[in-house]
């Protein structure tokens, strides 16, 4: 009874707070999306039926205390961009950031042109000239940076992976991470490997220790719905001493600890710990890609190179070690702050 009363009081408090909040703080049409869409269509020479991608952080970003979700709506009418068609990218960002927009049109020859836009502090909309973003050794990335500024990496990455037909679950990880990169691709590949080689059975769930952590963590959280807030994801830094204590091949490839935890009526029963390694095969990649004067573009090429080989999961992922834990306290030590997962699973030399 006491719990029900507290719940009712809590709900009443939340409703009162919402009622007193400024109406303009939610979901007003600020006109940024419509203004950019109109000008971008003219700038890029868009014609109905053209193949287009629309990317924006509107909805996540705010502007002077207001939500910006309605700034996405004009892109459906102007460019035919929609979530269902896989050509509307809602990019995660801080609500403290200002809205930005990118529209990319794919020509019949496969080349990609983008127009970028951002919202100034005074509410003005800056719209760039069209710029070639087709990923190749000849791409003038300086011109992209001049046109798109801080949006350059996202514009090139999202445009080219969209054009190449990136799987939607991979794209979702990149949207959460707010750009495409090899780390995002590696997380997606590891998730695919887990679902194939270590699928969950009744009463099981994944716990993951990202040690060492890199961009893969965001992709794994997106693909597997395993998050710190739900008690399933633990990201840890490693030290030089730990690296030196590991066998060379393990230190080179280790991607983390991927655990199938079994519970019955919420009580711990067992945990199967899979220590996985990930090999980017960078030597083979650079032999394929050659030199590139912009390191950022090499990263994007590596991401594309990897997802074009998604049917070769074992080419990238290997099982370093597998152990079973039957004691709950031993498992808790594996996850505890200050714990030593490398030592507990017997990875040190």
Q: Give the 3-state secondary structure of residue 261.
A: strand
This model's pTM is above 0.85: yes
**Residue 27: other Cβ atoms inside 10 A:** 13
Q: What pLDDT was estimated at residue 292?
A: 67
Q: Please report the pLDDT score of residue 274 as a whole number.
A: 98
Question: Cα 224–228–232 angle (5° rounding)?
Answer: 55
User: 80 lies in a domain?
Assistant: yes
Q: Does a structural domain hold residue 240? A: yes
Per the domain annotation, does 5 fall within a domain? no
Last residue of a domain, one of 165, 198, 222: 165
Residues 53 and 152 grouped into a single domain: yes
Tell me: do 141 and 189 sit in the same domain. Answer: no
For residue 129, give both structure tokens: 């000239």
Final residue in a domain of this structure, among 136, 165, 194? 165
CA distance 322 to 272: 7
Same domain, 155 and 189: no
pLDDT tens for the chain, 349 residues: list them: 444 544 554 554 444 444 443 333 444 578 999 999 999 999 999 999 999 999 999 999 999 999 999 999 999 999 999 999 999 999 999 999 999 999 999 999 999 999 999 998 888 999 999 999 999 878 999 999 999 999 999 999 999 999 999 999 999 999 999 999 999 999 999 999 999 999 999 999 999 999 999 999 999 999 999 999 999 999 988 888 889 999 999 999 999 999 999 999 999 999 999 999 999 998 888 877 776 667 778 888 888 888 889 999 999 999 999 999 999 999 999 998 777 899 889 999 8
Q: If DSSP codes are grouped into helix, strand and coil, which group holds residue 249? A: helix
Q: Is residue 173 part of a domain?
A: no
Domain holding 49, by residue range, is: 25-165
User: Does residue 199 share a domain with residue 144?
Assistant: no
Give the distance, in angstroms, between the CA of residue 175 and the centroid of all CA atoms in the same chain: 5
Do 161 and 208 lie in a common domain?
no
Same domain, 217 and 260: yes
- 10: in domain: no
Query: In terms of domains, do 154 and 199 share one?
Result: no
Q: Which helix (H) or strand (E) holds 256?
A: strand 254-264
Kindly report the backbone phi and psi dihedral angles of residue 176, in degrees, each rounded to the nearest multiple of 5, phi listed first.
Answer: -65, -40
Residue 177 domain flag = no
Give the helix ranges, DSSP H, for 45-181: 74-79, 141-148, 152-163, 168-177
Q: Decide if 135 is inside a domain.
A: yes
* Domain count along the chain: 2
The 10s digit of each residue's pLDDT in 33-48 is: 999 999 999 999 999 9
In a domain, 176, yes or no: no
Buried (b) or exposed (e) across 234-272, using 16+ Cβ within 10 A? bebeeeeebeeebeeebbebbbbbbbbbbeeeeebeebe
Residues 159 and 191 placed together within one structural domain of the fold: no
pLDDT digits (tens, 9 = 90+) for 2-22: 445 445 545 544 444 444 433
212/160 same-domain check: no
**333 in the same domain as 281:** yes
Residue 281 shares a structural domain with residue 236: yes
Q: What is the pLDDT of residue 284?
A: 87
Residue 28 is predicted with a pLDDT of 57
Clarify whether residues 186 and 335 are in a common domain: yes
Domain boundary residue among 138, 165, 192?
Answer: 165
> What is the predicted pLDDT for the residue at 291?
67
The radius of gyration of the chain's CA atoms, rounded to the nearest angstrom, is 23
State both tokens at 142: 């300086």
Q: Which of 107, 111, 106, 93 is nearest to 53 (CA)?
A: 106
């Amino acid at each position: 009874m006491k719990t029900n009363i507290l719940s009712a009081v809590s709900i009443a408090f939340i409703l009162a707070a919402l009622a007193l909040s400024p109406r303009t703080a939610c979901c007003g049409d600020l006109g940024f999306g419509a203004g950019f869409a109109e000008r971008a269509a003219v700038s890029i020479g868009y014609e109905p039926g053209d193949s287009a991608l629309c990317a924006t952080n509107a909805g996540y970003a705010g502007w002077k205390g207001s939500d910006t979700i309605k700034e996405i709506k004009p892109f459906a009418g102007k460019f035919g961009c929609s979530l269902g068609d896989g050509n509307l990218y809602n990019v995660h960002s801080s609500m403290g950031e200002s809205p930005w927009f990118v529209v990319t049109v794919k020509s019949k020859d496969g080349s990609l042109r983008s127009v970028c836009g951002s919202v100034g502090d005074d509410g003005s909309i800056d719209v760039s000239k069209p710029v070639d973003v087709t990923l190749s050794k000849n791409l003038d990335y300086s011109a992209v940076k001049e046109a798109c500024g801080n949006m350059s990496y996202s514009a090139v990455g999202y445009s080219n992976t969209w054009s190449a037909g990136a799987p939607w679950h991979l794209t979702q990880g990149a949207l959460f991470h707010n750009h495409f990169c090899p780390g995002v691709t590696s997380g997606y590949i590891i998730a695919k490997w887990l679902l194939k080689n270590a699928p969950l059975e009744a009463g099981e769930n994944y716990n993951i220790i990202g040690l060492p952590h890199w961009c893969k963590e965001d992709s794994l959280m997106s693909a597997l719905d395993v998050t710190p807030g739900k008690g399933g994801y633990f990201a840890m830094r490693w030290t030089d001493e730990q690296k030196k204590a590991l066998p060379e091949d393990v230190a080179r490839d280790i991607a983390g600890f991927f655990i199938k935890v079994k519970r019955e009526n919420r009580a711990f029963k067992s945990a199967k710990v899979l220590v996985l390694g990930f090999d980017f095969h960078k030597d083979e990649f650079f032999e394929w890609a050659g030199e590139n004067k912009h390191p950022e573009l090499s990263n994007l090429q590596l991401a594309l190179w990897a997802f074009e080989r998604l049917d070769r999961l074992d080419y990238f992922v290997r099982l370093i070690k597998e152990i079973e834990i039957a004691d709950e306290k031993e498992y808790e030590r594996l996850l505890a702050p200050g714990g030593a997962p490398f030592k507990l699973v017997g990875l040190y030399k």
